[in-house]
Structure 1
Amino acid sequence: MMKMRLGNTMEEYSGSSEDKRIFAPAAQRNKQHVCDVLEKYLVNKTACTSVLEVACGTGEHTALFAASLPHLTFRPTDLTSQLFDSVIAHSAGLSNVLLPPATLDASNEEQWEALLGTHSSTLRALVCINMTHISPLAATTGLIQAAGRYLEAGEGLLFIYGPFTVDGGKHTSESNEAFDADLRSRNSEWGYRDIEDITRMAVAKGLVKVEIISMPANNFTLVFKRAAETLC
């Protein structure tokens, strides 16, 4: 096992010089659980086939999602290209993953436009895993704003997975409270977001709350749908 920076945090990973795939323990633990949620909502959806993943990290999620939902086309993106070799290696042989991955700062509207255009798109889904608590709030705001603009009206779905506070800032476990404090000590712009705040932001951008799903290890998946007519 070795350590490297994955996105905004240090994590252990396993890999070798011959195999460019990187394996992050957090991804190994949660990827199937998140995939189960996507399958629940996307398995029978065929009208629109594009899914964009924000903060794709090592590419482990991308590969599993693409293999499990072969009728959808996945486009992985991340803040930097640091882990793109791993993403490409994980997705080798999967024709429904658009490679190479694209760089995308979720807080940067110009980068969204460069990637998806200036007009409303027909994305079936936006998927974001473990970004909101290790990035500035502007990244989450940008993600939600993009969902209101680029998801298919009336059908497109936004999935946000990670740890959150509830009921106006309450932690769901002592370990989450300690981790949140550690994040904030390392970067004042990081830290857990509250589900109620995220929901208010989403509604303000023309999204509708579909479901808040409790996940293993005190995490959640927030599911929103773009309304038929949005404010963006």
Structure 2
Amino acid sequence: MTDRPEPWEPGSGPVAAGKRYAPATERNRDAILGVLRDQLPSSGLVLEVASGSGEHAVHFAVAFPDLDWQPTDPDPAAFASIAAWRAEARLPKLRAPLRLDTTGDWPIAQADAILCINMVHISPWTATVGLLERAGAALPRGGLLYLYGPYLRDGVETAPGNRAFDASLKARDPHWGLRRLEDVIVAAEAEGLAFDRLVEMPANNLSLLFRRRD
């Protein structure tokens, strides 16, 4: 017997009470933290879109105690897990989760930074377009939009593992799949989000940093 929470991934099934865990979170959270340390504001509100199990929200809220952290997700199973992790952590600036669908009206109108980890490839392209559109409206001048996950890149060979992952995503849902980095940049620029930099991450993932223009 073990007290370890049940695994979770988007669309994994019915709501289960209590915490869930996403195995990828344990592998990537410290690498992501290393990028965020020099990029997030010293104070203000960070909106996390598609918070998943809620483990990232707790990890980052501990690392950045001066920031208000707002987790969100549209998935009921994820929402329940976020709430359970938050209740256990008892962190003063980790807010209760909100339901947020990137293509609908957002419950948060403004944020000092926005994070979205491992959503772009596990959702329809319209979800990414909605994220970029609303992030462009919500962020202040110079505000950060941070995206993390695997991408396709023109002129860069796709790793075999990412090709297989892309095929498995499309088998689950034909509207899912790895996106071209260049398509994301063009869509972001159209919403006033300037591509700042790319950071190579472990396991063939990328950190993409955008900043709100004037």
1:164 is aligned to: 151
Given the superposition, is the C-alpha separation of residues 71 and 128 from structure 1 closer, same or farther in structure 2, using an over 3 Å criterion?
Answer: same
1:183 lines up with 2:169 in the alignment = yes
Give the Cα separation in 1 of the matches to 2:30 and 2:20: 17
Give unpaired runs (5+ residues) of structure 1: 11-15
C-alpha spacing 1:83/1:106, structure 2 compared with 1 (3 Å): same
- Cα RMSD of the aligned pairs, angstroms, is 2.1
Please tell me the residue identity of whatever aligns with 2:172: R
**Alpha-carbon offset, residue 177 of structure 1:** 0.5
Secondary structure at the counterpart of residue 82 of structure 1: helix
Query: What's 2:189 paired with?
Result: 203
Question: Which residue of 2 is the match for residue 104 of structure 1?
Answer: 100
Q: Which residue does 1:62 correspond to in 2?
A: 57
Who is 2:108 aligned against? 116
Superposition TM-score, scaled by structure 1 size? 0.82
> Which consecutive residues of structure 2, in runs of 5 or more, have no partner in the other structure?
none
Matches within 5 A, 1:30-179: 30-42=28-40, 45-46=42-43, 49-91=44-86, 92-99=89-96, 101-108=97-104, 111-112=105-106, 115-117=107-109, 121=110, 123-152=111-140, 154-167=141-154, 171-179=157-165
Secondary structure class of the residue paired with 2:128: helix
Distance 2:47 2:186 in 1: 23
CA contact (8 A) 2:8 2:21 kept: no
TM-score, structure 2 as length reference: 0.89
Q: Secondary structure at the match of 1:6?
A: coil
Please give the alpha-carbon distance, in whole angstroms, between the structure 2 residues aligned to 1:129 and 1:185.
21
Segments of 4+ in structure 1 off by > 6 A?
Answer: none
State the match for 1:13 in structure 2.
none
Distance in 2 (alpha carbons) for counterparts of 1:6 and 1:25: 9
Aligned residue-pair number: 207
* Partner Cα distance (2:169, 2:78) in 1: 22
